[in-house]
Each structure stands twice: as C-alpha cells, then as structure tokens.
Structure 1
Amino acid sequence: MQDFTPARTQSWRLNMSCEPLVLTEEERPVPKGKEVLVRVTHCGVCHSDLHIREGKYNIGGGKTLDLQARGLKLPLTLGHEILGTVEAVGPDVTTVKPGDRRLLHTWIGCGECPLCKSGDENLCAAPQFLGVQARGGFADHVLVRDEEFLVDVDGMDPAVAATYACSGVTVFSAVNKIRPHREGEKIAVFGCGGLGQTALQLLKALGMGPVIAVDPSPEKRRQAEAIGVAATLDPAAPDAAKQLAAFAGGQLAAALDFVGSEDTTTLGINAVRKGGQVIIVGLFGGELRYPLPFIPMRALSVRGSYVGSLKELKEFVALARSVKLPPIPIERRPMSQVNEALHDLEAGKVAGRIVLEAAPA
C-alpha cells in the first residue's frame, strides 16, 4: 500500500504577544464545498498587525484592552491585505478556477446574523477575519470560506491592489460617510501614512475639498503636497488649533482621523463647523473627553468607521480602475522580511505601505 504524505505549507505565525513571528510548517488545507485555496503572492503590512502582535489597545486612563481576553486566540498567522492566485477549489465552486488572480475580502463574518445577511459582514459580532481571527496572509496559502469573497483585480498592479483589501476599502468606507459633499466645504485629513495618502488621492479623484493634510512628519506633509492638497499642518505646532481654524474659516465640514489619538480627535472635533462630521478610523488609542451639551448644540456627528464591506471593496476597485487612481508609495519586500517590516512600521520608517511578496512557487 502506498504511503500518503499530506502536502505542507508554511506561514509566519504569532505564538506569543510582543514576540517576533515564527516560520511554521503546517498541513496544507484541502478546500471543500465553496472553499477556495489561494496561493499568496502579495500581502500588505498594516498598523493593525502591530496591535494584534502587541495583544492590546490603549483605551486611555492608563488602561488597555486585552485582545486575548476579547477572544484573540494564539497561535495566529497575521496578514489581512491578501492577493494571490487560486490553487485549488472545492467541488461547489463555479466562479473561479486554478490560476485566477484574486484579491481577498478578508472581513468575513459568521454569515448567519442579520448584519452578515445585509452585507455588513465587517460589523459582525462573531467575525472570522483573515489574519485576525482566522489564518491570514503572511503565509504560502490561505483558505477562503466562500468564492464570493474573491475580487477580480485583473490588469492591476498586484502589490497596489493588495492594499485595497484594507487600506483602500477602509478609506473608501470612511469617505462614503461624509458624502454627499457641498462644493467648497473643507475637509481635514489627520495622518498621512498609507491610509491618509489613499484618502487624499480618493478625495482628489472625487472632487471633494479643499483639503488640509495634518501630520507631524515633514516628509509625509511633502508627500501630501505632491498629491495636491490646499494646505498642510503640523499638529505639534503650538498654534496648530489656530492654524486649522484659519484654514477652515468656519467651513470645515469634516475631519477624517486616520490616527485616532486623543490629540487628533480633539483637534478635529473642535475645528469642524456646526453640523460637521468627525470620522474616527485610526486605532492609536486613548480616551475622548468632550462636553456633552456641545454635541447637540453644535449638531456634531462623531462616528467610527471600521474597514469596509465586500460591496464597498468591489465599488472601490471599480472606481480605482475607472479613474486610474494613483498608487501610494509601495515598498516591496520578500515575505521572509515580515518581522523587519513590522519593526520599521512600528518605528515610523514607512512612508506609504510595505507589501510582502512571496518567493516564486
């Protein structure tokens, strides 16, 4: 009788919080039903990967939110900006075949709750997000629950398209929350890293603004100027609030906060006009303290925005293709440098986005 040895696959796995990822060999999954096995070719590195590696979020007042206490299970393979080629499909798959290149919608829910059934799986209370609750893309392969979560990005630069799974759809969902936009009303974008630069490109493509880009890094402010903003601001300047008020002239309709710190959110809330909107996307952390009567008196909307839906990802990919959305700076590195990439991102050395590329099969 012939011996059968299951095929193997490798992934960079987090075994303990705050520790480097470890290269681990595992049995390669075999897709069943509508499952699809994708060979990963590109995977972006996101600030959320840092929070997951650290195992906590800063929630202000000297307190932290422990992710393992909230259900994060280790060991875990991180990585949620995943693009690759279909390697194998389950018997019920009809829309993709081996060899197809696809972007993965990684924000997968339980599939059964009202939010999932309405298309808002990214808001599911029992999520199965790839790279967060389920095995992610810092790996040779990833198993996707259903073919519906694969998005065609044919003809696009795969390294750029990989970032659309998180950076792109997150920005698109946040910008959608401040539409429609009245002509001439101003917008502040806080944080000009990967998400912020994508937001500046998207706002420009949609004709929204004028826009002021807010970031403490001179290099990132220069990148914002190169994209084409009306003004830039160093939030660490002693008169930052006055500068922002002078730019706004009472017409700051919205603040998109891709940092999500106490300082940026407070600055944004104080700057928007009556009826203005503050959309908090970033997870830097801290605590928001603001006089409650001012919220109704100023008719403020303070709203969180968390990644995006499959529908929004498809809409963003279509928009990026139709307007030829300029890419943010992409630094390509081999997958084997994942720990160095996380270290450089944590140290603030990344101007745009690092995308890890797999070695040729």
Structure 2
Amino acid sequence: MRAWAVTELGKPLKEIELPTPEPQGDEVLLEVTHAGVCHSDLHIWEGEYDLGQRGKLRMTDRGVKLPLALGHEIVGRVVKWGPGAEGKGLEKGQIRLVFPWVGCGTCARCARGEENLCAVKSRSLGVYQNGGYATHVLSSHYKHLIPIDGLDPALAATYACSGVTVYSAIRKLMPMGAEEPIVVVGAGGLGLNAIAILKALGHKRICAVDIDATKLEAAKKQGATDTVLAGADTAKRIVEACGGPVLGIIDLVNGSKTAADAFDAMGKGGKLVQVGLFGGEMNIPLPLMPIRAITIQGSYVGSLPELHEVVKLAQDGKVPAIPITLEKMANADAALHRLKDGKVTGRTILVAG
C-alpha cells in the first residue's frame, strides 16, 4: 500500500510503499476513501508535547515508531477481513467510519467500551498504528466499524475525532440549563463541531472564543450566539459576553493563556473541561478552588459508544454540517502545513485519487 507518512519528525511527509496488512482474527482491512487532517496530527508530526517547566513529552517515549501514516478520522471501503469477523455482517465494498482509539481490547475499561482510556496498551490508529493517510488501513476489530448511511462520508470522517471528542467533553459538563452559557474556546474544526453538537442537544447559549476573527465569523454561522475575540483581557470579555461568570467552559486549545483566561472567567460551582493539547502549564491560586468550588477535568477523545451516539445524532439530521475542504491524499503534507499556519476553517479532508 501507499502511505503519506512521517519518516522524520518535523520534516515533510513522504510518499512511501508499505506492506499491505493481511487481516487476522477480528481485524478488517479497508481501502481509505476519506481521512481528516486534525491538529493532533501536528503534535505527532512535531514529535512532542509542551509540559511547561517539566519540559517536553516526546512521542517516541510514548511508543510512537516511524515511519508512521498519520490520520485518525477515517472512512473507508471494506476489502477483506480475518476469520474472527466471518458472519458479522461484513460485505466487500461497504463504506464504514472507523473508530480509531483502540486499546488492548481485554482489560476492564476496554470491556466497558472505554478503549480510549485503556491504561494497558494504546493502539490508536494514526498514532501507534498506521492511520488514514494511506491507501489502506487495518481496523483492529470489526466492532470498530460504524455504518454512516445517509451521511456525507467526508463530514462523517470528522466524527471519529472532532465530533466524538467534543461530544464526550460536552457530556462531562452536563446537566446544564439550555439557556446557561457554555463557552467554547477555539473555533477550529473541533470548535465548530462543538457548536453543532451543542445545538443538536438543544443548547441555546453558546459563546465561541478565538484569536481569529474569520474563525469567529464561521462560529456565528455555525450557530454560536456570542463570540469573543481573545486578547489581553479575554476573561473579562467572556464574562461580559455571557452576562456574568460562567459555569461551563470547554477549552479546545488548552494552552497556558487559554487555561488562565478560562479559570478567571469561571463562576462558583463552574466546570472547566480541558481538551486541547497546545501545551504549557496552568498556575492557579489554590484557595480559590474550594472557595469557588471549581472543577477542572481533562477529556481525552471519546469512546466507541459515544461515537455511535454522535453518528445517530447526525443521521437524525440534528447536527449541522461544519465547513469541509477536500484535498487529494497526495497533497497531505501541504494540507498539514496549512493547518499548522492557521489557514483552515472547519476541516480539511483528504480523499483518495
């Protein structure tokens, strides 16, 4: 198979030939038709996370091996499967969305459908296994394949990361009243999907925050009721836009500045859900945590059951589509660099051919 892979950290992706996997056991081989370009791909390509004063967390220390085909937002066409998948309703040519956040498959968390939280062995596609920037991808289990009948496959691809990630974060904020403002920090692909899914769930007050006025305009079109252009006094602007300190914030950037601004904008009993991997560190005055009864919670992608729920919402026509730009797979490196340079509104989807 052909792959557009990281062969050297921080260097241009290269088109290389890799052995086409032969599915074993419960595995399924798919021909990739669509693959989203996600900001997490940039972190893997760069090879490290910024931990502030603690230094860097290097991807190679986490078990990432090169060469690696990036891409975890994948839609593909079923080609063949292992003997364990016989009789499970698979047919050649079926179009399926692939759940990428694969765990060990046998621990208690994996058994509960929480493979994204597996502490035994992560096998996530596009991170520890070759992902969607390729002609083929190997799904670890037939149960990870989700029908997307009635959906645009380019849009459906975004649900495997962008959609399920924000859905999982939103669930951590609930319950909240529909008129209670929820702040979404970051109006990129995740931010727009967060707005779309909040609307699908019936939420009416959504405040989008970003440093880019163009992305805030996209957030308005997506359904944000309020927008805040981030700057020196972002927390104050958030409080003013929301009519007071807020009880729910999802930080899809999660850098030192956004975390501090989010904390300062929180009201008593509020919750901050941190999703992004921009990096740095958060310094907070500890007495204010109990005095204001604030909760800070991390949220890492989402589970297989949550992805099924997102797809069902979309198939029911409740999730407004985010802007999608199609790009040929052969231009994967250019697409990744456009994202790095902040030149993408919504999501870029790589397509075969």
TM range (shorter): over 0.9
Gaps of 5+ in 2: none
Q: Name 2:33's counterpart in structure 1.
A: 41
Structure 2 Cα separation of the partners of residues 230 and 144 of structure 1: 39
Over residues 240-290 of structure 1, what are the superposed CA-to-partner deviations in whole Å (9 max), with x where a residue is unaligned? Answer: 322222233335110011111111111111112111010111111110000
Tell me what 1:137 maps to: 132
Q: In percent, how many aligned pairs have the same letter?
A: 47
Given candidates 12, 15, 18, the residue that maps to 2:10 is: 18
Question: 1:212-361 counterparts in 2 under 5 A?
Answer: 212-236=207-231, 238-250=232-244, 252-359=246-353
Q: Give 1:47-196 correspondences, 5 Å limit.
A: 47-61=39-53, 63-93=55-85, 94-125=88-119, 126-196=121-191
Secondary structure at 2:2 match in 1: strand
Please give the alpha-carbon distance, in whole angstroms, between the structure 2 residues aligned to 1:311 and 1:112: 17
Query: What SS class does the counterpart of residue 154 from structure 1 fall into?
Result: coil
- Partners of 2:29 and 2:109 lie apart in 1 by 26
Q: What is the aligned partner in structure 2 of residue 4 from structure 1?
A: none
Query: What CA deviation, in whole Å up to 9, does each residue of 1:8-53 have, x standing for no partner?
Result: x111121111111111112222222221110000000001111001
| TM-score in terms of structure 1 length | 0.94
Q: How many residues align?
A: 350
Larger radius of gyration, structure 1 or 2? Answer: 1
Is the contact between residue 178 and residue 254 of structure 1 (CA under 8 Å) also seen in structure 2?
A: yes
Q: Distance in 2 between matches of 1:280 and 1:192?
A: 15
Counterpart CA distance in 2 for 1:265 and 1:178 is 16
Q: What is the CA–CA distance in structure 2 between the aligned matches of 1:174 and 1:101, rounded to whole Å? A: 28
CA contact (8 A) 2:149 2:315 kept: no
SS at match of 2:156: helix
Q: CA–CA distance in 2 between the matches of 1:113 and 1:179?
A: 28
Secondary structure class of the residue paired with 2:268: coil
Give me the whole-angstrom Cα distance separating, in 1, the residues matched to 2:73 and 2:346. Answer: 14
**Contact 2:41 2:71 (8 Å CA) reproduced:** yes
Q: Which stretch of the first structure deviates more once superposed, 42-51 or 30-39? A: 30-39
Q: What is the Cα deviation at residue 145 of structure 1?
A: 1.6
Q: Which amino acid aligns with 1:186?
A: P
Amino acid at match of 1:349: K
Name which of structure 1's ranges 31-40 and 127-136 shifts more when overlaid on structure 2.
Answer: 31-40
Equivalent pair of 2:75/2:97 in contact (CA under 8 Å): yes
Contact 1:333–1:354, Cα closer than 8 Å, also in 2: yes
How far did residue 62 of structure 1 move?
7.5
Q: Shift in Å at residue 113 of structure 1?
A: 1.6
DSSP-derived class of the 1:214 partner: strand
How far apart, CA to CA, are the structure 2 residues paired with 1:143 and 1:203?
A: 32
For the 8 Å contact 1:78–1:135, the answer to whether it is kept is yes
| Aligned match of 1:6 | none
CA distance in 2, matches of 1:200, 1:241: 20
Cα separation, 2, equivalents of 1:272 and 1:209: 19
- Please give the TM-score of this superposition, normalised by the length of structure 2: 0.96
Report Cα offsets for 1:95-117 as digits up to 9, x if no partner.
21111100000000001222111
Secondary structure at the aligned position of 1:276 is classed as strand
Code of the residue aligned with 1:332 in structure 2: it is L
Report the Cα distance in structure 1 between the residues aligned to 2:230 and 2:191, rounded to whole angstroms.
15
Segments of 5+ residues of structure 1 without an aligned counterpart are 1-8
Contact 2:36/2:72, CA 8 A, preserved across alignment: yes
Q: In the alignment, is the contact (CA less than 8 A) between 1:13 and 1:77 conserved in 2? A: yes
1:133 Cα shift? 0.3
Q: d(CA) in 2 for partners of 1:131 and 1:333? A: 18
Query: Is the CA contact (8 Å cut-off) linking 2:164 and 2:306 kept in structure 1?
Result: yes
